[in-house]
Structure 1
Amino acid sequence: MKKTIVLYPGLFVSHLVPMMQLADVLLEEGYAVTAALIDLTLDQDAALAAAVDRVAAARPSAAVRRLPRIQDPPAVADYGGEPILWYLEVVRRYNERLREFLCSLPPRSVHAVVIDAPSIAALDVARELGVPAYTFFASNASAVAMFLQLPWMRAEGQPSFKELGDARAPIEFHGVPPMPASHLMRETLLDPES
């Protein structure tokens, strides 16, 4: 029996497509690949639904499974209109569905779970089941470098990124060209205590 790698992509096309490119590599290496999808936004997000259909059709040897929907899914408005906080809560609520899915696979067939980086709450499920888990950061090296340095920059007592704005000297991350603070993601400009 082939060892299965379960991919757990995020809720956005920009996260699904690179992870399914990873599926191509895993398939070439002889693994069985199953993508477990959170089926919360597929009926509302036409681009994501179309991407799911395309990747499933292009990779018939990779199984694509939609996890059953959760009851009473949260709304972005429930989290002050903050999509990242909403996303983290959705993933946390889907942990039980992911656990049920992994347990439904043949015993000892799951070699590893590859989790989209923003879906970090799913690591708890893999740890609980004793399945090796890896995070997949679907971005370029500059973004990885920046995100890895953000916590230390704030810990060093610098003013908030919002306070830096465009008026002060550009922010300098190792491995990334200098940039004004306003070029960061909106969420990084929020109150650092939130």
Structure 2
Amino acid sequence: MRRLVFIPGPGIGHLVSTVEIAKQLAARDHQLFITVLIMKLPFDQLFTNTDASISRRINFINLPEAHVDTRNTGPSSFFKTFVENHKTHVRAAVLESSTQSESNQARLAGLVVDMFCTTMIDVANEFGVPSYVFFTSNAGCLAFLLYLQKLRDEHGTDAAQLMDSEAELAIPSFVNSLPAHVLPGVLLDKEGATTFLNHAKRFRETKGILVNSFSELESHALHSLSDDKTPPVYPVGPLLNLESDDFHVSTDKARQKYDILRWLDDQPSLSVVFLCFGSMGSFGEAQVKEMACALEYGGFRFLWSLRKV
């Protein structure tokens, strides 16, 4: 018997997909036990669903809170410090899990760390077990970050320097070239780019990368990741919770869900644009209006999951 320890990134979107991959792995191997360590953001509720219906071989541990001074701290610095400050708690939880594993003959087999928790690779090294990265986004994004990291570390080109550039980037994971000035804002910010690309650099230290995608969707991007400097990439998606939750929501919400699905069924194939920016993605009024105008001018059917703030 073996035990894997998962360390999801803070945020419900990362936690939900981690639970789904844990459920799939446990269902495939009845000799596998899984522990999920949960870091609570100051503004989030604790995840307390330890229902045995998920799996009797998956257990959840809410880690003690780690203090982070938020004064004069940008988002990238905050998350980096937040995760780093949990390392002691993670180390203690892994040690306890390892001790329990010895008593029930389920040896510690490895750590699966979130794409934003690469500092926890150090903990895996301390325990002498392999580490894997769980990349909750798609293969194109993974390859894109690895490309920019290689550009920085091997060619001395910083993404932040491209902010006002008219250059076209030939990114291996993208079918078409990309104008440098449309790079995501976080990668054009010195601090943000450093944080993201340092994570990407550490991806290369692991034994493998699990990515929330599948080959039929991203064959080009996945093929671009098959070079000898990248750890094996395993497409494990799409990670979806298809169990109906209609019994746990109000009648109005259930009806709204039904209306949306019925509308989607009535649309032509490949005709709907879906916009969703994750559990923590929010925008100011001006940006929301700009996106709305773009959708209107584009003339495409769309479904937009717009988060309230």
TM over 0.5: yes
- Deviation by residue 1:48-86 (Cα, 9 ceiling, x = unmatched): x5xx456x446142211101112x3232x443x2x1221
Aligned residue in 2 for 1:99: 91
Aligned residue in 1 for 2:63: 67
Query: Which is helix-richer, 1 or 2?
Result: 1
Q: Which amino acid aligns with 1:179?
A: L
Cα distance in 2 for partners of 1:103, 1:157 equals: 40
Aligned residue in 1 for 2:183: 184
SS in 1 for 2:10: coil
Q: Does structure 1 retain, via aligned residues, the 8 Å contact 2:167–2:179? A: yes
Q: Which ranges of structure 2 fall in alignment gaps of 5 or more residues?
A: 195-309
Q: Does structure 1 retain, via aligned residues, the 8 Å contact 2:101–2:108? A: yes
Report how far residue 146 of structure 1 moved.
0.4
Cα distance in 2 for partners of 1:130, 1:152 equals: 27
How does the TM-score come out when normalised to structure 2? 0.52
Q: Which amino acid aligns with 1:100?
A: A
SS in 2 for 1:163: coil
Report how far residue 187 of structure 1 moved.
2.3
Report how far residue 125 of structure 1 moved.
1.2
Identity %: 23
Query: For residues 107 and 34 of structure 1, do their structure 2 counterparts lie closer, same or farther at Cα, with a shift above 3 Å needed?
Result: closer
SS in 2 for 1:113: strand
Cα distance in 2 for partners of 1:149, 1:114 equals: 23
Equivalent residue for 1:115, pick from 113, 116, 138? 113
Q: Which amino acid aligns with 2:65?
A: R
- Deviation by residue 1:157-180 (Cα, 9 ceiling, x = unmatched): 55712122xxx2443211213333
Aligned residue in 2 for 1:89: 81
Cα distance in 2 for partners of 1:101, 1:163 equals: 46
1:145 and 2:143 aligned:
yes
Query: For residues 162 and 121 of structure 1, do their structure 2 counterparts lie closer, same or farther at Cα, with a shift above 3 Å needed?
Result: same
Q: Does structure 2 retain, via aligned residues, the 8 Å contact 1:9–1:15? A: yes
1:128 and 2:126 aligned:
yes
Larger radius of gyration: 2
Cα distance in 2 for partners of 1:25, 1:9 equals: 16
Cα distance in 1 for partners of 2:143, 2:184 equals: 14
Q: Does structure 2 retain, via aligned residues, the 8 Å contact 1:115–1:136? A: yes
Cα distance in 2 for partners of 1:120, 1:86 equals: 15
SS in 1 for 2:22: helix
SS in 1 for 2:169: coil
Cα distance in 2 for partners of 1:94, 1:180 equals: 38
Aligned residue in 2 for 1:23: 22
Cα distance in 2 for partners of 1:131, 1:78 equals: 37
Matched length: 179
SS in 1 for 2:109: strand
Q: Does structure 1 retain, via aligned residues, the 8 Å contact 2:84–2:119? A: yes
Query: For residues 97 and 16 of structure 1, do their structure 2 counterparts lie closer, same or farther at Cα, with a shift above 3 Å needed?
Result: same
Alignment root-mean-square deviation, CA:
2.5
Q: Does structure 2 retain, via aligned residues, the 8 Å contact 1:74–1:90? A: no
